[in-house]
């Protein structure tokens, strides 16, 4: 019986316990192609044999850069790890200069890429990476060696005994992967995670996830290069979940209907968009249907778990679920009964309304440095509390420092930052990882995050501003797509706002007004400015007078990863946004220093 101590033990454990015919499923040329657990393991062993023939040594680094989640990624992952080498996943959307930095910093020997876009970026900097021997591609691309060459090279099983020997020499505490954090400032840091860091996180999180072992289906589309999705995928393997890989974020809606999953992982931004689309459909309804729709939404926004609202509320909710919320569920495939959310704070209204619709969002919290899960909500055993990120998972300790910073200790805490002992010593003190987040733990053990320590600032009046809470509240407005609160050292908070241009087009039609064809014309239109001011005025009273947004400026650009506004995990790059909109800062405060 396989005891899981290293990441490559997961597929073998799955084979013994579930032996799935559809362990990993990827769409190719319009058809879902299934890979069984046995094929997954056989191909991973073939890759390991090939890598040994290519001269891969223990602790060599192999990078994988993929624009989408796919079966090949996982075969390569296990194939690499079995040789004692390390898998270095890289975000596909970062700048090619960052590719160059990461490949050089990690001294990667080989790179496996998914498609022509990624390959082009790698080829542009290849000459500047002396350690790099060869680039392989998952897709068939002329002029690039294909990953299937490894499947041919490893066909001969005569060196499988060497693979077994390598596997046996990989210890639980050995380095498994280096994940470069996207970072809102400066160069990416290489987070070193051991096999045990991630394995312990999977096994200690597992009791919190209510899977029907061997019977559940998952749709995976969050970037696999991020530890959140990667850890969840090992968890799926542990529970014998069939994993279907979404084609792209744009096709999620179609994929949900085709796959009909029981579980997905999501980030709050995606859930906000799903809710906005549902809401927009409600606005198109007429008469009694419209009244019922908004009655159900209003009911959902007041949801509290475990029947806390009493009999009459629960009776109404039963009706709302039958008449309205069941259609939401159908639109998401019909079988979805769990969404796991991480990466950023989830608005309370979304937690309430999706739970009311019987598609609860289990919000969790963690960082790349903690493999990643520290806490997570769980509907069972009263383990769910709206507005919190749940309770600490097994064997992980959370404590709050005197200044309010959240500290974490446990087997999930990273080995350190690669080639950076100084930053490691700053981050881990007496075994506790300093998260940089501010929060509190209530009497029942539920953790609430209030802000990023580094993002809090003081106005000139000496009052602290926690921007994330304000931003999250303001984004409840359908007119506001993105917002960044500013005002460090200024007499009052202000904000840069990227309006939801898509929603403004709907609003235009609804009211029979024209606010311009281009984004520049839209943001300059007095009616748009006045309407967004109305939204700010409506939400401002939720905050103390010193926290309220007194002035704002609209931006014509759609904030994006490519534009430099957002990290690959969709967090705001505050310093860069400040620099981009220097002129707007001057309009608000009269100066820029």
Cβ-based neighbours of 210, under 8 Å, separated by 6 or more: 338, 378, 379, 380
The whole-number pLDDT of residue 461 equals 76
The whole-number pLDDT of residue 305 equals 96
Question: Which tokens in the block code for residue 466?
Answer: 């926690």
What element of type H or E holds 405?
strand 405-409
For CA atoms 149, 152, 153, 157, the dihedral sign is positive
What element of type H or E holds 465?
strand 464-465
Give the right CATH number for 9-170+209-259 from 3.40.50.12780, 3.30.470.10, 3.40.630.30, 3.10.20.90: 3.40.50.12780
Q: Which CATH class is domain 457-589?
A: alpha beta
- Rounded CA-CA distance 227/364 in Å is 13
Question: Which tokens in the block code for residue 409?
Answer: 């200790």
Please, which residues bridge with residue 60 across strands?
Answer: none
Q: Is 477 helix (H, G, I), strand (E, B) or coil?
A: coil
| Alpha-carbon torsion, ordered 325, 330, 335, 338, to 10 deg | -50
The whole-number pLDDT of residue 183 equals 54
CB–CB of 517/541 below 8 Å? no
Q: Where in the chain is the domain with CATH 3.40.50.12780?
A: 9-170+209-259
Q: Which residue pairs from 145-148 have beta carbons closer than 8 angstroms and sit at least 24 positions apart in sequence?
A: 147/72, 147/76, 147/112
Please identify which residue in the block is written with the tokens 């990953």: 147
CB–CB of 138/113 below 8 Å? yes
User: Residues of the chain whose pLDDT is less than 70?
Assistant: 182-186, 593
- Rounded CA-CA distance 154/31 in Å is 27
- pTM of the predicted protein model: 0.85
The whole-number pLDDT of residue 265 equals 95
Alpha helices in 302-347 (DSSP H): 311-320, 326-331
Q: Where in the chain is the domain with CATH 3.30.300.30?
A: 457-589
The whole-number pLDDT of residue 182 equals 64
What element of type H or E holds 299?
helix 287-301
pLDDT digits (tens, 9 = 90+) for 210-247: 888 899 999 999 999 999 999 999 999 999 999 999 99
- Rounded CA-CA distance 414/137 in Å is 30
- Rounded CA-CA distance 352/370 in Å is 28
The whole-number pLDDT of residue 153 equals 98
CB–CB of 515/521 below 8 Å? yes
CB–CB of 558/520 below 8 Å? no
């Amino acid at each position: 019986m396989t005891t899981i101590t290293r990441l490559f033990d997961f597929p073998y454990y799955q084979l013994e316990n579930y032996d799935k015919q559809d362990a990993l499923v990827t769409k190719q040329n319009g058809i879902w192609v299934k890979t069984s657990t046995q094929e997954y393991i056989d191909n991973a062993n073939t890759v390991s044999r090939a890598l040994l023939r290519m001269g891969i040594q223990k602790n060599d680094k192999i990078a994988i850069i993929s624009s989408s989640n796919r079966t090949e990624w996982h075969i390569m992952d296990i194939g690499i790890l079995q040789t004692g080498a390390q898998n270095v996943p890289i975000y596909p959307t970062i700048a090619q200069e960052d590719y160059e930095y990461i490949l050089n910093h990690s001294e990667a020997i080989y790179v496996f890429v998914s498609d022509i876009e990624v390959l082009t970026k790698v080829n542009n900097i290849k000459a500047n990476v002396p350690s790099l021997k060869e680039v392989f591609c998952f897709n068939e691309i002329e002029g690039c060696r294909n990953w299937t060459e490894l499947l041919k090279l490893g066909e001969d099983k005569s060196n499988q005994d060497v693979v077994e020997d390598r596997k046996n020499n990989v210890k639980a505490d050995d380095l498994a992967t280096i994940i470069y954090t996207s970072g809102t400032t400066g160069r990416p840091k290489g987070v070193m995670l051991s096999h045990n860091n991630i394995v312990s996180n999977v096994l200690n999180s597992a009791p919190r996830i209510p899977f029907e072992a061997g019977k559940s289906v998952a749709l995976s589309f969050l970037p696999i290069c991020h530890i959140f999705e990667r850890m969840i995928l090992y968890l799926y393997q542990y529970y014998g979940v069939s994993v279907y890989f979404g084609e792209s974020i744009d096709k999620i809606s179609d994929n949900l209907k085709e796959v009909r999953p029981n579980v997905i992982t999501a980030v709050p931004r995606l859930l906000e968009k799903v809710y906005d689309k549902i809401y927009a459909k409600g606005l198109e309804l007429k008469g009694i249907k419209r009244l019922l729709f908004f009655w159900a939404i209003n009911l959902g926004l007041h949801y509290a778990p475990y029947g806390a609202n009493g009999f009459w509320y629960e009776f109404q909710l039963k009706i709302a679920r039958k008449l309205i919320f069941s259609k939401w569920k159908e639109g998401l495939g019909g079988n979805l009964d769990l969404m796991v959310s991480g990466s950023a704070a989830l608005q309370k209204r979304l937690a309430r309304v999706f739970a009311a619709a019987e598609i609860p969002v289990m919000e969790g919290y963690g960082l790349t440095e903690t493999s990643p899960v520290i806490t997570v909500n769980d509907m069972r055993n009263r383990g769910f509390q709206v507005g919190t990120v749940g309770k600490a998972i097994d064997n992980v300790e959370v404590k709050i420092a005197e200044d309010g910073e959240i500290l974490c200790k446990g087997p999930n805490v990273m080995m350190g930052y690669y080639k950076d002992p100084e930053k490691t010593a700053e981050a881990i003190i007496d075994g506790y990882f300093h998260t940089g987040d501010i929060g509190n733990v209530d009497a029942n053990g539920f953790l609430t995050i209030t802000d990023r320590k580094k993002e809090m600032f003081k106005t000139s009046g000496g009052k602290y501003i926690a921007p994330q809470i304000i931003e999250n509240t303001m984004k409840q407005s359908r007119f506001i797509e993105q917002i960044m609160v500013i005002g460090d050292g200024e007499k009052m908070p202000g904000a840069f706002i990227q309006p939801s241009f898509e929603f403004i087009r709907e609003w235009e039609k609804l009211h029979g007004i024209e606010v311009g064809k281009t984004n520049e014309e839209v943001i300059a239109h007095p009616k748009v400015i006045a309407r967004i001011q109305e939204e700010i005025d409506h939400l401002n009273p939720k905050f103390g007078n010193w926290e309220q947004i007194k002035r704002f400026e609209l931006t014509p650009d759609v904030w994006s990863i490519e534009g430099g506004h957002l990290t690959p995990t969709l967090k705001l790059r505050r310093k860069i946004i400040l620099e981009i909109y220097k002129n707007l800062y001057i309009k608000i405060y009269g100066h820029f220093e």
